[in-house]
Amino acid sequence: MKLTTDMKRLITENLAYIATVDNDGNPDIGPKMSIRVYDDETIVYDELTGKQTMANIENNGKAIIAVANESEMSGYRFSGPTQIIREGAFFEDATKWSVDGKHPLPKAAGVMKIEKIWTLAPGPTAGTPVTETEK
């Protein structure tokens, strides 16, 4: 699936959270202040702590990213296969983002290829896949 201009704006302007699950089904969620759009089908973040979120993604590749704007009453949830990358273009981009922003250097880059998107806007379409709200 492709990100719309509005989705990209919300990701850029708001704090996003990433949820993962370990192999025993225990959930984990946390803010990722470095979540950003890489291209129309990819969301990336700098893995700065290298703890539970990174371990969960390395173990099963499952993650969901949610971003919302309370004052606009809008938001989205994104999912797709997610990887932890320690070298190559994604990692180089993560390192550059950290250096340019004077943030700690990343341990890795988290990379999600978006397969599903849900709306988080209130009302009758809340929690439905974006493809269904467009019909």
Model confidence at 135: pLDDT above 50: no
Residue 130 lies in a domain: no
| CATH number for the domain that contains residue 17 | 2.30.110.10
Domain that holds residue 22: 5-123
Average pLDDT value for residue range 94-107:
96
Per-residue confidence (pLDDT) for residue 91, from 0 to 100: 97
H or E segment to which residue 119 belongs: strand 116-119
Residue 131 lies in a domain: no
Distances (CA, A) of 90 to 102, 110, 117: 18, 8, 22
Average pLDDT value for residue range 114-126:
90
Average pLDDT value for residue range 29-49:
96
Residue 17 lies in a domain: yes
What is the tens place of the pLDDT at every residue in 72-100?
999 999 999 999 999 999 999 999 999 99
Residue 91 lies in a domain: yes
Number of compact structural domains in the chain: 1
Per-residue confidence (pLDDT) for residue 101, from 0 to 100: 95
Residue 78 lies in a domain: yes
| CA–CA distance, 40 with 5 (Å, rounded to integer) | 9
Instruction: Write down the mean pLDDT value for the chain.
Output: 94
Per-residue confidence (pLDDT) for residue 132, from 0 to 100: 53
Model confidence at 127: pLDDT above 90: no
Residue 132 lies in a domain: no
Per the structure block, which two tokens stand in for 129? 């896949």
Residue 48 lies in a domain: yes
Residue 112 lies in a domain: yes
82 neighbors 62 (Cβ within 8 angstroms): yes
